[in-house]
A and B are shown apart, each in its own frame.
Chain A
Amino acid sequence: MTAYLRRLLFFLALALIATFSVLPFLWFIATSLKTQVEVTAIPPTLLPSFSLAFYRSALDDYHLLHYLKNSVIVAGAATVGTIAISLFAGYALARLPLRHKPLIMGSLLVVAMFPQISIAGPVWQILAALDWLNSYQGLILPYITLSLPLGVWIMTGFFRELPRELEDAARVDGCSHLQTLFRVIVPLAAPGVFTAAILVFIYAWNEFFFALLIMTQRPYQTLPVGIALFQGQYTIPWGEIAAASTIATIPLVLLVLLFQRRIVRGLSAGAIKG
């Protein structure tokens, strides 16, 4: 096979991969920018007329802003909570003397594997007993629990990489363990925290199962629930669904585009070092 042919095949493969990855979503975005007539045209029109009618409709008639607000609150709070807990847990696992470390990390990994259905019933019961169904904390707390394995894994790996001498210097300079943690470790944890925060936020933003279960009243529902349950009066409002989906996805796509290196490193570091 000549070099020229190989290069051609290579770029063909690239084009295919890129198209395959992006085209379906582009189609959906295009749909959101059509007019009602264009959407229901058979056969479908390819190019939209860039109308914002569906977006307006999604915002006004389908309470998109509500869902957006709830998602921001839940995902934001869950991220903050998970990061705080993971930072401390990760430091303890990376640096402090503890017995049974492999067991602890292993059990966290197991939690990440739990099928949602297997804990759904009792979690629901607990929240019902506390009257926390259809409340922000009712969703935030399970989210924190389920994203802790990811957060702890990332933070532990990160702290292991920090030079030990920094902590030694801090202790000789007069810091207690707690002071070392807050004066030296926490300020330096920023990169790890950043990566973990992005991944946890993406998880919480996308989560559907528990959101569906716990938030049954519209004022509290998050974007995934809203988008899944979009009901039109007579027909499925595809245009509005597409518009809502685009809005739900734009923040994540931006995050991924801006921070793809970090994300890739965070995902694979845990896995490869595994």
Chain B
Amino acid sequence: MAGLRVENLTKIYHGATVVDRVSFTVAPGEFCILLGPSGCGKSTILRLIAGLEEQEGGNIFIGDRDIGVLNPRDRDVAMVFQSYALYPHLSVYENIAFPLRVRKLPAGEVDRRVREAAALLEIAELLPRRPREISGGQRQRVAIGRAIVRSPRLFLFDEPLSNLDAKLRAAMRVELAALHRRLQATTLYVTHDQVEAMTLGQKIVLMDKGAVQQIGSPRDLYERPANLFSASFLGAPPINLFTGRLVTGSGDGMTVRLPDFQVNAGRRANLAPYVGGEVTVGIRPEAVRIGTGSLQGILEHIEHIGSETILYIRMGADRIIARAAADFSSPLGTTLVLDFDPPSLHFFRQGQRI
């Protein structure tokens, strides 16, 4: 297993820069997620690494090999596609065997490896069937089987779960994680689904509009978002954001003054340089305390989703989202008392974390 290093990768398409000097590394055996909204360039990066497209600039290294100019067949990379891309005219067995047959491996070796992969993915009984005869989830496994049978140095996944229904997706997530633990394969996985990213990834490369926004572990990204995009993208329901003026309050504490209320920031020595200026405060819904505090708001909307309750509360010109226990009940229009836990606050200035 080798590591992946991408340096300043750039792709220009019809004059528009879709991938803008992207750099990141994936350690050998690491499961790295390329996360971002549609159109952010993540699938393009995958295709560039696979060699299906050519980059305008930048380098790609697998191990210490510079693969940037090589054909896909010479890069020793395997890919699982969003729509699985199984060969309809071949049986499941032949689909999995395809990469080996192209490399003219002896029949005995081919058979051994195919059966090994099929056993690992529990699709041995599907081997004689055709792709059109099996279900979506099964096709997905066949696609994965085709990738692992080669024992490549790098695995690429292009949103493989997005064509599955929610329940199957959840089950496959668990299986993919188990598979990765088994194979310890260097993996680059593209998705727009943050749940997948948070649960599967050891490292996340968050992207927007062709540029890297933040790189880190799922916890890093969630607890210390580097900019407003990161803060808003991760977390469901999304983070609450307010923009106001940073002023010094009582004692060493700071306060963010908004038109309708103010937020107590606690002691924040690192924010000293920004006093007097405009800052954006963020607080995640789960960090909003209902029932105590110095702030208040009007309950506008309530959603009971079974395991908990989501509250939509109006505070002046802003509306925030908070989480409450499943048994929370209050009529709409009630004024609620609430508080923001100071240590859980995030601060941003001009989009960047401070």
A and B touch in the complex (CB under 8 A): yes
Residues of A within 8 A of B (CB): 163, 165-166, 168-176, 179, 183-184, 187-188
Residue of B nearest to A173 (CB): B99
CB pair B103 A166 closer than 8 Å: no
Q: Which of A163, A166, A175, A188 contacts B73 (CB 8 A)?
A: A175
Residues of A within 8 A of B146 (CB): 169, 173
What separation, in Å, do the CA atoms of A40 and B264 have in the docked complex? 113
CB pair A174 B73 closer than 8 Å: yes
- Among B71, B81, B85, B86, chain A packs the most CB atoms within 10 A around the CB of B85
Which residues in window 61-84 of B have CB below 8 A to A? 71-73, 77-79, 81-83
CB pair A172 B50 closer than 8 Å: yes
CB pair B72 A171 closer than 8 Å: yes
CB pair B83 A176 closer than 8 Å: no
What separation, in Å, do the CA atoms of A176 and B77 have in the docked complex? 15
Please list the 5 inter-chain residue pairs (A to B) with the smallest Cβ-Cβ separation, ordered nearest first: A169-B85, A165-B85, A173-B99, A174-B102, A174-B73
Which residues in window 316-340 of B have CB below 8 A to A? none
Residue of A nearest to B88 (CB): A188
Residues of B within 8 A of A168 (CB): 47, 50, 52, 79, 81, 85
A-B contact pairs, 23 of them (CB 8 A): A163-B85, A165-B82, A165-B83, A166-B87, A168-B47, A168-B52, A168-B81, A169-B79, A169-B87, A170-B98, A171-B52, A171-B72, A171-B73, A172-B52, A172-B77, A172-B79, A173-B99, A173-B102, A173-B150, A174-B73, A174-B99, A174-B103, A176-B71
Residues of B within 8 A of A176 (CB): 71, 73
Residue of B nearest to A165 (CB): B85
The interface size bin for chain B is: 20 to 34
CB pair A165 B81 closer than 8 Å: yes
Known: A163-B83, A165-B83, A168-B52. A173 touches B98 (CB 8 A): yes
Q: A168-B85, A169-B85 are in contact. List 4 more A-B contacts (CB 8 A).
A: A166-B85, A168-B79, A170-B87, A172-B79
B89 interface residue (CB < 8 Å to A): yes
Nearest Cβ in chain B — how far from A26, in angstroms? 43
Residue of A nearest to B158 (CB): A165
Residues of A within 8 A of B77 (CB): 172
Residues of A within 8 A of B89 (CB): 187-188
Residues of B within 8 A of A (CB): 47, 50-52, 71-73, 77-79, 81-83, 85-89, 98-99, 102-103, 146, 150
What separation, in Å, do the CA atoms of A68 and B321 have in the docked complex? 82
What separation, in Å, do the CA atoms of A176 and B73 have in the docked complex? 7
Residue of B nearest to A177 (CB): B71
Q: Which of A165, A170, A172 contacts B78 (CB 8 A)?
A: A172
What separation, in Å, do the CA atoms of A87 and B79 have in the docked complex? 28
What separation, in Å, do the CA atoms of A166 and B82 have in the docked complex? 11
What separation, in Å, do the CA atoms of A168 and B103 have in the docked complex? 17
What separation, in Å, do the CA atoms of A180 and B52 have in the docked complex? 13
Residue of A nearest to B80 (CB): A169
Residues of A within 8 A of B78 (CB): 172-173
CB pair B81 A179 closer than 8 Å: no
Q: Which of A175, A187, A188 contacts B102 (CB 8 A)?
A: A175
What separation, in Å, do the CA atoms of A172 and B102 have in the docked complex? 11
Residue of B nearest to A176 (CB): B73
CB pair B73 A184 closer than 8 Å: no
Residue of B nearest to A187 (CB): B89
Residues of A within 8 A of B87 (CB): 166, 169-170, 184
What separation, in Å, do the CA atoms of A231 and B213 have in the docked complex? 86
Residue of A nearest to B87 (CB): A184
Residues of B within 8 A of A174 (CB): 72-73, 99, 102-103, 150
Residues of B within 8 A of A172 (CB): 50-52, 72-73, 77-79
Residues of B within 8 A of A175 (CB): 73, 102
What separation, in Å, do the CA atoms of A171 and B47 have in the docked complex? 11
Residue of A nearest to B73 (CB): A174
What separation, in Å, do the CA atoms of A170 and B89 have in the docked complex? 13
What separation, in Å, do the CA atoms of A170 and B101 have in the docked complex? 12
Nearest Cβ in chain B — how far from A178, in angstroms? 11
Nearest Cβ in chain A — how far from B172, in angstroms? 19
Residue of A nearest to B101 (CB): A183
Residue of B nearest to A166 (CB): B85
What separation, in Å, do the CA atoms of A169 and B88 have in the docked complex? 12
- Among A163, A166, A169, A187, chain B packs the most CB atoms within 10 A around the CB of A169
- Among A163, A168, A174, A176, chain B packs the most CB atoms within 10 A around the CB of A174
What separation, in Å, do the CA atoms of A171 and B77 have in the docked complex? 11
What separation, in Å, do the CA atoms of A1 and B72 have in the docked complex? 68
Nearest Cβ in chain B — how far from A204, in angstroms? 28
Nearest Cβ in chain A — how far from B99, in angstroms? 4
Residues of B within 8 A of A179 (CB): 102
What separation, in Å, do the CA atoms of A220 and B74 have in the docked complex? 54
Residues of A within 8 A of B71 (CB): 171, 176
Residue of A nearest to B90 (CB): A187
What separation, in Å, do the CA atoms of A179 and B99 have in the docked complex? 12
What separation, in Å, do the CA atoms of A184 and B94 have in the docked complex? 12
What separation, in Å, do the CA atoms of A175 and B102 have in the docked complex? 7
Residue of A nearest to B146 (CB): A173
CB pair A169 B102 closer than 8 Å: no
